[in-house]
Amino acid sequence: MNFYFPQAHAYKVPPSVQNAVYPFHVPPRLFPYDVYIHRYLTMWIMPTNHITHTIFFGTILCYIGVRWWIPLVVRGDKFLLGILMGCEKRDNNDNDITDDGSICHKKLLWNQFYVLTVVTITVIVVAWRRVFRRFSGRPWMDPNYTEFNRLPVCNSFMRWMVDEEGARDVACCPFLVATADYRGGEGCQTMKGGDDKGGGGGGGVDLVPNVWNMDQQQWKFQLYNTVERALNVVYQEWDNDLEHGAVGDDIVNDGGTMGSTWMKQSSMDGNEVISWRPITVPANWTMLEGIPDKPIYTNIKYPFPCIPPFVPDKNPTGVYKLIFDLPSKWQDEMSFAKDNYMITFHGVESAFFLFVNGEYVGYSQDSRIPASFDLTPHLKHKANVMYVVVCRWSDGSYLEDQDHWWMAGIHRSVELLRRGPDMDILDYRVQADMDGSLFICVDLKKTMSRINQKRISFKLFDDEQSTPMGGREGEHLPVWSVVQEINGASNSNSNSNSNSNSNSNSNSTEEEFTGEIRVSAKIEGVKLWNAEDPNLYTLVIGMVNSNDGAIYQVESCRIGFRSVDIEDGVLMLNRKPITICGVNRHEHHPDHGKVVSVESMARDIEIVKNNNFNAIRTSHYPNAAPFYRLCDYYGVFVCDEANLETHGMMPMGKLADDICWSKAFVERVTRMVNRDRNHASIIFWSLGNECGRGRNFNLARKALRKLDTSRPICYEGGGDLFEGTGETELTDIICSMYPNVERTIALSKKNTDRPIILCEYSHAMGNSNGNLHRYWEIFRDLSLRNLQGGFIWDMIDQGITLRHSGNCRRTFGYGGDFEDKYYVGVNDKQFCINGLFSPDRKPHPAVSEVRYLQQPIHLIESEYFPYENARERYITSSSEILRFRFISYFHSLSWSDVYVEYFYCNDKMKYVNGDTTDSEIFRYFPTADDSEEFIMINTFDRAQKCLSEYSRCWITFKWYFRSKMKWQRNNHEYHPIAIETVELCLPWPDEDHNIEINKILREEGCSIKVQESTSSVELWVKARGERFMRRCAVIDKTTGCITSFCNNASSEMLNEPMVPNFTRACTDNDRGGIDRVRHLMPRWVAFKIRLLERTLFNYSYWYKWKRLGLDPESPPRPVCDLLKLVAETSDHAIIEADISMITQHGKRLFHLHVSYHFRCDGSVKISTILNKPNGGLKYLLPSLPRIGYTFCMNKDIKNVTYLGRGPEENYPDRKSGSMIGVW
């Protein structure tokens, strides 16, 4: 925006990026060898466009001709044909010797001729079949043909309204509001306004009378195997309709009609009967029953042969047909001739052709950004026939190789828009800075009627959105307004400073005005937008008649005042540093694929906010427009990512540096920015994901900077031949992928002028997200100020609901569960199941850990904590007052916005869903005057009372917001914003306190006895009140393990012995990706996978475990070396055992020292010490799969009570978010 307004805020480009002149001078640590290797080597031997393909095969043929044909054909001064004919003639005369030698030499020449002919023909056939036959007339295989007749994309708020109050209502609604003639589909809603607050009240007029949602119309569908066949079906259908008079005579045939030559590339029976089936729009046809084309999941590889820009001939192509009448309100003869009509497809995967009433309208690629076409010369009042031919594969598919499901079809809404002759506003751009500066730039039509009678009004309202789904509360009067004449004069109605001007050609006339209207203002006392307090204003822009005030057009949007900058390598929002608690999110629904409703989007954001996330990366493509409106409303930082990924290319940057693909790269970035730049929630852009580095990204970055300088740019790709480093000159933010903690710290020290925000740093696949606390220790480290968080991969398991017959449990499928005959073995199996939440949005156990580490309030260390590791916290103090110090990581909120609940619990109080009902709950309400390190004072007496009765005691703190936040639907559906648990270990004034504790644990009248035999040791106990002793436990002398254990009723609890366990089923991370590599390998190599494992994957945990004998199918067995009775009294007995773990091959792995402490009440405490392996074994065993015990219990036992961390699964490296208690 500062291109038009020099005073507008622009972020400071880091010096290391600003001083880099691509590609000849970059930071010295990142020499662009990957770019040069591609530019001067791989693009010529692995061509990616029509020109390089032609050069490649032409060079091969020339080499064959020069190297072999010419020497073979021209031998000295004679031609080969003459020599061979002469040889044949001499042979007939029985001459054994020819001019060139013997008959053997002649046969050798013939053999060379035959071989060379076969080689030449083979090269020509391969070149023809794989490349050259696809050159002519196939726009879906031409990277330069990305669109035809497609209109420029405008911002997503454009609705072409005519009522100011209705425009305010529409701005506060996340749906794509459409006319009330028809009910909208996914992402659309119809609204009427009749009251002051709007929000869809009954009666009144249509809020959006000029936008008609076409989703719920009677769409018909048919699927074909090739694009050519589908196009010819459309041509045949139209000819049949003309022949039978099914369409009117007012259809004009011209050069753009359906008789174009590129449509007639396959023969087809003209009498074929086409069977149409109804289909819902929007929908992925790959998710519908009865359609043979199925969804495909791949992580890296393409689901078709990688020969860019060509795709297979067998290309599933869907033909959509719709016969529609214009809404009755649009059919007025007087206005119909003057109005302009435009159709918008908000999302079609992956490319499509559009035909209306027998005319070819246009073509578009890019599955995630709207495509609009002008239908004014093609429409009529009734019986309009529209065909949409959707190609599943196109050259654009090479740019959409994201780690998700390959779908197909119209997966977002379709809208028909009407623009009156006086609706001259085409688009507008807004920038609102934290100091109250407001900059608006409005694009107008090139030709305007009655230019001297028009003016543009700008109004800013302090509206409050009532609910996530819409509704508003606000004053009638604006907080700022100004009226701008087209000729440049302005009339301001505000106490704020306001400037405006218009930009037009010097030779413009009343009918030839072209340019922009620019307005700037300074609004005093604005409320800033941030993730904690997302304050929004409603901006209304109207074009009115300067004489009578008649409204021609009204547009509206929600804006937030905020500024993003980079200062000394730190990302700042409103001049305060921020920490990104982010997650990557795919658009995914288990039942509908890529069709995601607004309600589902809102639910996802509420889940994110309730689990202490504050940022979402739209991996790896722009999301549907309502998603950004919801992020504005809820307060979510968004990294908006362009629809670019070529991960399956080898090397990855082949297309990024190919000049023939420049248009596609630049378009996908700039069209995203043009649609989304008015959203306050977007704080930085992403050029794409895993595309390598090259000149196309340099062009895309420059084009983006021309459109928006208020937000930084990030991009992970480039810097390496196969994977990105996130440190290139293309990115203002170091956004490396999956660096370990040590490398993350090194990145911070190495790149001091750029913030470090990891675009992916914890892969949530399977039982994962361990050691996450190590990342957050450095993210919170004040000495590493430019380490500012990252995005976890990813949010949702991309599972798809499996449809089974009968009433069975809902299950989800992954890659390969939907294979058909065309895509056998293509899928990457379960690699799509890598989210923090299941497909139905149920949290996995790791969510509690992430929620705790990202919570904005933490208990910090003090003099009470004897260890530096605050994850193992207990307090020792002799003071009568306990002081707890908390620190707040809020960006804008203060202590007065929260309160704390705390309670005491001991080892006899049971938790239910994280709460205990046996303890009194206390509350404390801090004040805004408290310091950043808040000190809370608590009395000592309650803790002493709680601890005096039991052996262990804890105090738990739970922090809550004082008022319900936007993402909290009710009081029972959200978690506390912060939880801390501390164990109390307090000294007592009474020196005999420990004796009193022992008296509590000891029961009078009970006894224990040990009996030893040749094979086992038996424990017998007699509790108080019992006449006879009963057997409690049996320890086997051979294994040193407990083989029998009975309860107080003498019922056996074990079905199998309790044995040490060091194995478990391996995860995909343990295997080091070997399954994926095996899947990528050819079949003739796959059987030698054992050799590959030894050579390439000997670093994986799974391989080392299996090699050492830690295989769950044949686990090591225990062998007892020594079993002895250490102590025996009337109330307890201690037995110790030395156990060796022996593999199936007789190799000793570990030595265990196990202590069994039996008590007379029938309880046992087992302590195990694992000695480290000696010699070279410790180098081969960097980590153990598991340390624990395995036993099989009686099936009659239903409930288990334990003292420990819960309620979720937790491990030594993933236990911070689990509270200690009795569960």
Which residues are known to be catalytic?
690, 760
Contacts of 70 (CB under 8 A, 6+ apart): none
Helix residue ranges per DSSP H, 164-315: 164-171, 227-243
Supply 348's token pair: 């079609």
List beta partners, residue 147: 364
Contacts of 1047 (CB under 8 A, 6+ apart): 1053, 1162
Please report, for residues 501, 557, 584, 1006, 1080, the alpha-carbon distance to residue 678 in angstroms, rounded to integers and kept in the order given: 21, 8, 22, 77, 43
- 8 A C-beta contact, residue 190 and residue 214: no
Phi and psi at residue 1085, to the nearest 5°: -105, -25
Please report, for residues 314, 684, 956, the alpha-carbon distance to residue 850 in angstroms, rounded to integers and kept in the order given: 45, 23, 19
Residue with tokens 């700037």: 520
Q: Nearest-CA neighbor of 477 among 168, 198, 199? A: 168
DSSP letters of 38-95?
IIIIIHHHS--SHHHHHHHHHHHHHHHIIIIIHHHHEETTEEHHHHHHHHHHHHHTT-
Q: Strand 480-485's sheet: what is its strand order?
A: 490-492, 480-485, 454-461, 537-545, 551-559
- 8 A C-beta contact, residue 1031 and residue 1162: no
Supply 257's token pair: 């009609």
Q: CB atoms < 10 A from the CB of 770, how many?
A: 16
Contacts of 293 (CB under 8 A, 6+ apart): 223, 285, 286, 316, 392, 408, 820
Give the integer Cα–Cα distance in Å for 255 and 495.
Answer: 57
Residue with tokens 């209705």: 166
Residues in the chain: 1223
1079 three-class SS: helix
Give the integer Cα–Cα distance in Å for 497 and 437.
Answer: 9
Q: Nearest-CA neighbor of 620 among 826, 798, 377, 875? A: 798
386: left (phi over 0), alpha (psi -120 to 50) or beta: beta
Q: CB atoms < 10 A from the CB of 1197, how many?
A: 10
Please report, for residues 476, 751, 828, the alpha-carbon distance to residue 719 in angstroms, rounded to integers and kept in the order given: 55, 15, 27
How far is Cα of residue 987 from the mean position of the Cα atoms in its chain? 51
- 8 A C-beta contact, residue 213 and residue 176: yes
H/E element holding 607?
A: helix 598-610
Angle between helices 80-92 and 103-130 (to 10 degrees): 140
Supply 642's token pair: 């362009």
Burial (CB count <10 Å: 0-12, 13-18, 19+), residue 1022? middle
- 8 A C-beta contact, residue 775 and residue 741: yes
Query: Which is it for the CA torsion 658, 661, 663, 666, positive or negative?
Result: negative
Give the integer Cα–Cα distance in Å for 1166 and 1149.
Answer: 21
1097 three-class SS: coil
H/E element holding 410?
A: strand 409-410
